[in-house]
């Protein structure tokens, strides 16, 4: 069976790697017969070239199509000199949104509160379409939630910032603020978001949510089926 090689960005924060490994444990529990290998682009071990030793399907554990997805992952695969199919990134997908909403619920957010304002906080990118993908989710939540408002915000590079988004929500009448984490794992940027959020409720990253694990497997299955058809 073709191995699934899941590659995350990597972080100096040990919580990040632990969260990625926990997610992959869920993936393994859903598909015990599958060889699932985790690795990182940078800052953590093992690196991609350490685990990509034979033809495989590489699933980038990235939420959007920013620089790491467009440049770093293909370059790392090419450097390994091992034939591999690289899947699409995890986002956009409704299951990521479901996971983010579950994290808000776990943080004690009441979804029926019409005074609630929600910040959907992502990393931020110099690649505008990656930021727009997050903003699109925020706009959809704003239309469908019944909350006072939903605003996208970014931890770096892009705007608005978390404080700016909170101010926009207060201007819309929100008296309670919650921050939804559009991050896969803990690290420097999620910590920055939590600090900037002040006394707002901050949900934890998506991490080992079962729907995220199912999404990883779906990316793998789709790439493998497409490869079989092409052959």
From-to residues of CATH 3.40.50.1400 in the chain: 4-90+208-230, 94-202
Three-state secondary structure call for residue 179 = strand
- CATH architecture type of domain 94-202: 3-Layer(aba) Sandwich (3.40)
Looking at residue 230, its pLDDT comes to 46
Tens-digit pLDDT profile for residues 179-227: 999 999 999 999 999 999 999 999 999 999 999 999 999 999 999 988 7
Looking at residue 68, its pLDDT comes to 73
Between vectors from CA 154 to CA 149 and to CA 156, what angle results, nearest 5°? 160
Say how many C-beta atoms besides its own lie within 10 A of residue 229's C-beta. 7
Three-state secondary structure call for residue 33 = coil
pTM, full prediction: 0.94
Looking at residue 197, its pLDDT comes to 98
Q: Which CATH class is domain 4-90+208-230?
A: alpha beta
Looking at residue 69, its pLDDT comes to 77
Looking at residue 228, its pLDDT comes to 61
The list of the chain residues with pLDDT below 50 reads: 229-231
């Amino acid at each position: 069976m073709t191995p699934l090689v899941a590659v995350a960005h990597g972080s100096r924060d040990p919580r990040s790697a632990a969260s990625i490994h926990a997610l992959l444990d869920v993936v393994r529990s859903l598909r015990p017969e599958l060889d699932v290998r985790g690795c990182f682009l940078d800052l953590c071990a093992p690196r991609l070239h350490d685990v990509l030793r034979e033809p495989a399907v590489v699933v980038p554990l990235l939420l959007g199509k920013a620089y790491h997805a467009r440049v770093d992952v293909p370059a790392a695969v090419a450097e390994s000199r091992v034939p591999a199919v690289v899947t699409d990134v995890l986002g956009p997908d409704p299951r990521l949104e479901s996971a983010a909403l579950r994290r808000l619920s776990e943080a004690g957010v009441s979804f029926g509160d019409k005074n609630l304002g929600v910040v959907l906080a992502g990393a931020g990118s110099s690649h505008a379409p990656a930021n727009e993908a997050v903003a699109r989710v925020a706009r959809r939540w704003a239309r469908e939630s019944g909350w006072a408002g939903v605003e996208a915000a970014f931890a770096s590079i892009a705007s608005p910032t978390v404080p700016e988004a909170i101010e926009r929500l207060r201007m819309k009448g929100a008296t309670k603020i919650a921050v939804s984490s559009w991050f896969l794992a803990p690290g420097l940027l999620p910590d920055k978001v939590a600090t900037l959020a002040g006394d707002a409720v901050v949900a934890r990253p998506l991490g080992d949510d079962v729907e995220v694990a199912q999404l990883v497997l779906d990316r793998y299955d789709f790439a493998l089926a497409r490869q079989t058809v092409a052959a």
